[in-house]
Structure 1
Amino acid sequence: MQTLKLWIRMIFRQWYKKLVIAAIFVLGLYCSLQLLDSGKHKLRHSKNTQTTHHSSESHGIVEIDPENQIPDNRNLYKVPKEDIHIDMCPACFGKEICTDIEAGLVEISKNSKTEFRELIMREASLHKTEKVVVSSVTDALWNKFDKFICQNASKSFPCDVSAAISTGYLTSNQALTVDGLRNLYKVLDKSKSEAVLPICATNKLIHELISTFDGNGDRQLNQEEQGHLMTGLLLHPSYVVLKFQDAISSNLPLPNFHGTCGRLAVWEGGMTPLKDHLQESFEERAGLAAQLLQLVDDFQNEDPNWYFLYTEFSYNSFSVTNEGEVLLTDLQDMIIIDKTLFTQAVGPHSTQSERLCNEMCYQKFTRDIMTSEYVTNVCSQVKHYGQLMFAIVCKEILSDLEEHKTGGFFNYDGNKVHQRSEYRGLLHSPPEKDKDNIEELLRDCVQETLAGGRKQAVEELQETLDKYLTYNDIDDEKNDKNDDDESEKDEEEGNDIEINLNCSG
């Protein structure tokens, strides 16, 4: 027995490497056979799955990944030709996106039609990948416009509008002048507040509008191009603002513009109303509020040549993208002002940069800009009243204070009945540590007590809100670091597993 054990040890010492190799070879052969059998089983399972899938398709059941698909095609339809009215051009908005629309690449979502301030909006998709808004104006407003064109061309209504506009006032040299643009609202018997974009018009603004609508690049507007411009200014200034921003390569927080076709305009969609974010955490709402304050600053200072005045801020004015960016989406009341007017300023503000201004002061300014015969003088003072935009945003959107609950910032006749705001302030329920400070800054933003007090309050409010953004960034960094650590841990564990022989397949 001893001799047998001795022989075994000697053989093992001399042949153990070969034995180990042989064992590994046998084990490897066994694993290969197992994996081959597993592969055949998976192939059979795959074929069975495909068969089931085809069977499901035959019954009209199609699986869709909701993260990567813009609505089920059964809920979309191509833009009807009768909605485009290309035959009315140049009494229309333009033709930039007609190729896509005619090819069916713009599809409208069923039951998505909304009407707001004589505008009609529909949710849609572009190239099946991008959410957009297709907009126009109400039939009543189009009829009013068409009737004017026929009468202006001494034709009975209805008439061939596309021919009539080319012989009427809107495509004349007189219309495309400083006085012509400032008084354009009179064409449809509108109030000046219904067509405000060009009320501070200068020759510089005219040249920029020509550049914006100059489709053939000859640095002037032919009758068709001028027809597009005038139609837009009178009926749908929102898209004119978006087109203007593209032309000047500005970076204002406005939707991306895609183009027009006939009596339709298309721009960025897929956003949610600002009011839908009122239940978010205070940190999230602080981020949105900070963007609103920055937006007002951008309107005044972003572009070196143009000042954008907007006085109708409300929850309905804003939308939020999927990335959390706040955009101004109701642009009907935007006034575009040539900043060279400010160097011509005369009057009480020309020599002083700060002056106490609250509700009565702003009432007088807005009344003057809408009614004064000497509108150039009023427009040249705009930069001194631009803080009005901060006051309205703070009162109408940010503040949840009871004293700011009444709707409307202006009280022209002194007897206006104020309606309570429909929504809570965006900065409602602030953390206790900042509550008193935030509320006091909002009061100073709406009603300043010292000259320059509003500007200082806005700056301090921005700083306070930025702290919450910083906290979010730190939390995100921590989460990212934790994710990285988990990934590294998983990778290490994966490496450990790969070291061991595993025949599970």
Structure 2
Amino acid sequence: MLLSRKTYISLLLALLVLNLGIFVGKLNLKVNEIIEREKCPACFGINLCQDIDDNKVTLEYTDFYSIFNNLLGIKNIYYGKYGGDKVIIKKLAQKIELEGFDKMICSDYELMELCFNKPKAVNTMKNFYNLIVAELISADMNDPNVKIRLCPTISKLPELFSNVLTENNLKNADYYKYLWSLIQINPEPILLQILSSNDNWPTPKYFGACGRIVIVEYIGLPLSAFIQETWIERAIIASSLLDAAYAFTFKNPKFAFYLTDISMDNIAVNNEQRAIFVDLENTIIVDKYPSDEVLKEKTAWNVTYTNQVYTDCKDCFIFSPTDICNHKISDHNYYAICQNILVQGLHTNFDNQGLLHNIPSTILQEYPQLTYLLNQCSKPDKFQSRIESGNQLKKVLDTII
């Protein structure tokens, strides 16, 4: 049946009003409306709940990124303000993932005490610290769904979690439930506390949580937004990336941290042109000094592991968690930075241009070793060290900038 022009216009106006109403509702969205506090203790924590109740945390609509994300809820990430700080408000997972988590805990009697609509008679009183340990011990190193891997042993877990298991945090009887929930959904807040920006790690400041949101420092635009900046500006950022590769591998004398989801969109650049890693969801943590009993099975433990580059898969980030876990040191972080950021822009829309594309001829004339070191850090020759090439590359970049 054909619609009259008047009816057609009426329908268009109705749709316009509907969409306007939706957007106005979004513009008036309060942080309290997205936190799902009722899901606690199957949540991420409660230390920021009072500040949220006092309206100290607000959503902001001051630029394209904040408007776009806050109205559409892309990736369940929102832009806001906490006091005087610009912040990112993260739900840490998509709606379907959170619903799956709720379904899992509400259908397992052993976990029923976490279920937000559990029967009143349920009182299983599980030891969630033991559940955390069991989860980390049983993790399949090669399962892509496992987001935090500790290897080759988790015997130093209390030491690793020293910034997390603080006396103040443990005053809350539900704290281990929060940690277990994070490990199930997204362990990034745990990593942000282990690799605290207060200790000069290249990570955003972690403010805390309330219900099923966490609040972290807003750093700046993603690295992909800088791909067409001047070469010197890109070289400054590249130097900080190589700093980060060294820090994650060597800074902590007892543990090495290997980030397994490094891309230009998971790195932001701050006002000092320093690269900051804003997505730590997927990480392998290697205990550098396991017991002698564990080392009996690690015949190549003290040999630095070199990640292979698969030339038949140009836009791939391929690595072996098992091989990384079988060596005290791996060049994984240098491989990720040099191959997938500096040489080729993994998952970017710029014809796979790496951050250091189009080196000016004047710079190459003065520093002819630059291209060689970049290539060796990306795809080292058989007897070359990717780590050593990366460290030398940083020295050259620092001389140039």
Structural mapping, 1:206-217, within 5 Å? 206=158, 208-209=160-161, 212-214=164-166, 216=168
Normalised to the residue count of structure 1, the TM-score between the two structures is 0.62
Superposed displacement of residue 368, structure 1: 2.8
Whether 2:207 is the aligned partner of 1:278: answer no
Listed one character per residue, the Cα deviations across residues 41-96 of structure 1 (whole Å, up to 9, x for unaligned) are xxxxxxxxxxxxxxxxxxxxxxxxxxxxxxxxxx9756343311112111000011
5+ residue gaps, structure 1: 1-74, 370-377, 409-418, 470-505
5+ residue gaps, structure 2: 1-25, 62-66, 311-316
Whole-angstrom CA distance in 1 between matches of 2:207 and 2:76: 17
Whole-angstrom CA distance in 2 between matches of 1:104 and 1:163: 33
| Conservation of the 8 A alpha-carbon contact between 1:296 and 1:390 | yes
Whether 2:37 is the aligned partner of 1:86: answer yes
Which of structure 1's runs of 4+ aligned residues deviate more than 6 A? 162-166
Whether 2:389 is the aligned partner of 1:457: answer yes
Whether 2:337 is the aligned partner of 1:393: answer yes
Superposed displacement of residue 393, structure 1: 1.4
Residue of structure 1 in register with 2:85 after alignment: 130
Residue of structure 2 in register with 1:430 after alignment: 359
Structural mapping, 1:173-184, within 5 Å? 174-177=130-133, 179-183=134-138
Listed one character per residue, the Cα deviations across residues 80-133 of structure 1 (whole Å, up to 9, x for unaligned) are 4331111211100001111211111111124342799x9421110111x21000
Superposed displacement of residue 260, structure 1: 0.4
Structure number with bigger Rg: 1
Structural mapping, 1:358-377, within 5 Å? 358-359=308-309, 366=320, 368=322
| 3-state SS of paired residue (1:194) | coil
Whether 2:281 is the aligned partner of 1:332: answer yes
Whole-angstrom CA distance in 2 between matches of 1:231 and 1:93: 7
Q: Aligned partner of 1:134: which letter?
A: I
Residue of structure 1 in register with 2:180 after alignment: 230
More helix by share: 1
Whole-angstrom CA distance in 2 between matches of 1:270 and 1:138: 22
Whole-angstrom CA distance in 2 between matches of 1:271 and 1:166: 45
2:325 pairs with 363, 379, 401, which one?
Answer: 379
Superposed displacement of residue 285, structure 1: 0.8
Q: Aligned partner of 1:429: which letter?
A: N
Higher alpha-carbon deviation: 444-453 or 272-281: 444-453
| Conservation of the 8 A alpha-carbon contact between 1:135 and 1:265 | yes
* Count of equivalent residues: 358
Superposed displacement of residue 446, structure 1: 1.9
Structural mapping, 1:63-142, within 5 Å? 79-110=30-61, 111-113=67-69, 119-127=75-83, 129-136=84-91, 137-142=93-98
| Conservation of the 8 A alpha-carbon contact between 1:97 and 1:260 | yes
| 3-state SS of paired residue (1:175) | helix
Listed one character per residue, the Cα deviations across residues 117-162 of structure 1 (whole Å, up to 9, x for unaligned) are x9421110111x210000002221111111111111277x986259
Q: Aligned partner of 1:180: which letter?
A: E
Whole-angstrom CA distance in 1 between matches of 2:121 and 2:52: 26
| Conservation of the 8 A alpha-carbon contact between 1:120 and 1:135 | yes
| 3-state SS of paired residue (1:359) | coil
270 and 79 in structure 1: CA distance in 2 versus 1, 3 angstrom threshold: farther
Whether 2:196 is the aligned partner of 1:196: answer no
Whether 2:269 is the aligned partner of 1:320: answer yes
| Conservation of the 8 A alpha-carbon contact between 1:345 and 1:380 | no
Normalised to the residue count of structure 2, the TM-score between the two structures is 0.77
Superposed displacement of residue 215, structure 1: 5.9
| 3-state SS of paired residue (2:102) | helix
Whole-angstrom CA distance in 2 between matches of 1:209 and 1:389: 22
Two-structure CA RMSD over aligned residues (Å): 3.8
Identity of aligned residues (%): 22
1:160 pairs with 117, 120, 125, which one?
Answer: 117
Q: Aligned partner of 1:397: which letter?
A: I
Higher relative contact order (CA 8 A, sep 6+): 2
Whole-angstrom CA distance in 2 between matches of 1:253 and 1:439: 26
Q: Aligned partner of 1:125: which letter?
A: K
Superposed displacement of residue 163, structure 1: 7.3
Whole-angstrom CA distance in 1 between matches of 2:306 and 2:321: 18
